[in-house]
Structure 1
């Protein structure tokens, strides 16, 4: 039995721009109310305005998701609104600057591990805390983790700490398909390749033609959004959808 989405409440992290914004708007078009979380409040407010254009409510929340207090305040905001039915752990990214592991400082690469793995774990834990066991596990509330093709590759990768965190996020997803957890929420994941957002398109077009031919094509953002929405509506606990281009 699919989850009925109209008037449900979703929390989307990293929703001020990029894929997060696309996901927030996609949920809104299905009638889902959205808590728009981002460290950039102005960007979150823009996304909230786009969500409201779909005639559903939206609440921008400023949160640095590497700070536990901000994560807990985000969870409390959702609780104050009646409790979230959907959590999309979208926020993520490489270590800032040119230096990545092993050249980045431990403080820098630890922050990347936190953002891409520890924060989704903490938010999921807080989300699950508020949920009773569902009478119909197939229609239980949904958590969707946005991983990356970096998680499943075997070649060298420019940010090893990012790749390791995203690999951990995929395994966390499948591990939470245990019988007890799945009665409270369906934890699932999408593993996209290089997504065709504005910055990626610009970087793609700057590549030499031979390198472009050797790479998988960019993944259209709408394809990722569709995969997430399908999982939210009718995905199964532990399901991992790969969109590798």
Structure 2
């Protein structure tokens, strides 16, 4: 089955900037209405305004996915708008300052909350709301989790809590490969490498040439967006796509 994304209602977390901003724009261009979720109300409104230029509705919502009350508020706003059809769990966070084991438990705990617990909880709320969608029962509901190559492999990694959370997000996704356990919704994931956003490009350019030679190429944001749209359109439940660059 190929799902037409036009007239669907999508929510994108962390959509005020970076990859989330690009994903919100891509969904708008595909004809979906977008609930733009971000901690910063100003950037959320700016993204929503940009999405509206594709002649589709978009609404900003200030929310911190690290706070359970805000996750409930996201789900409630989705219900107010007629019920979410699509969800992109994009918001992520790196521990500020020291990493585990030096980081305070509250700091590395928040990293786990934002990168793993929040997608799990928001997906749960999304599934709970499926029966209340207005007039849409065509099997289209879907979730795409944005993981990271940090969660792959067995190499050392400088933020163990971030890597563990992103690895957990992949396994969470594959654990939901049976649509019978999700009310018919498809839960999928994209695992990108280092994404070529503005900051990453600047950091890449600052690396010594010999170091760049041993790294995979930056992943174009447009490639991630295309894959998310493909998954929403005709991806399979539990599907995990790696976009590792190079």
- The bucket for the TM-score relative to the shorter chain is over 0.9
Contact 2:3 2:232 in 1 (8 A): yes
In structure 2, the gaps of 5 or more residues are none
CA displacement 1:146-202 (0-9 Å, x = unmatched): 000011121111111000000000000000112422542100000000000000001
Name the residue aligned to 2:236. 236
Name the residue aligned to 2:117. 118
Q: Secondary structure at the match of 1:214?
A: coil
Contact 2:196 2:219 in 1 (8 A): yes
Q: Secondary structure at the match of 1:44?
A: helix
Closer/same/farther in 2, CA of residues 27 and 135 from structure 1, 3 Å limit: closer
How far off is 1:140 after superposition? 3.2
Contact 2:84 2:130 in 1 (8 A): no
1:109 corresponds to 2:105: no
Q: Structure 2 matches for 1:31-46, cutoff 5 A?
A: 31-46=31-46
**How far apart in 1 are the matches of 2:179 and 2:82?**
26
Name the residue aligned to 1:158. 158
Q: Structure 2 matches for 1:1-245, cutoff 5 A?
A: 1-97=1-97, 99-132=98-131, 139-245=139-245
Q: TM-score, normalised by structure 1?
A: 0.96
CA displacement 1:113-157 (0-9 Å, x = unmatched): 00000000000000001124x976xx4311000000011121111
In structure 1, the gaps of 5 or more residues are none
How far off is 1:31 after superposition? 0.6
**How far apart in 1 are the matches of 2:151 and 2:16?**
24
Q: Secondary structure at the match of 1:143?
A: strand
Contact 1:16 1:44 in 2 (8 A): yes
CA displacement 1:30-62 (0-9 Å, x = unmatched): 110000000000000000010000000000000
Q: TM-score, normalised by structure 2?
A: 0.95
Stretches of 4+ aligned residues off by more than 2 angstroms: 181-184
Contact 1:36 1:44 in 2 (8 A): yes
Contact 2:179 2:185 in 1 (8 A): no
**How far apart in 2 are the matches of 1:218 and 1:96?**
24
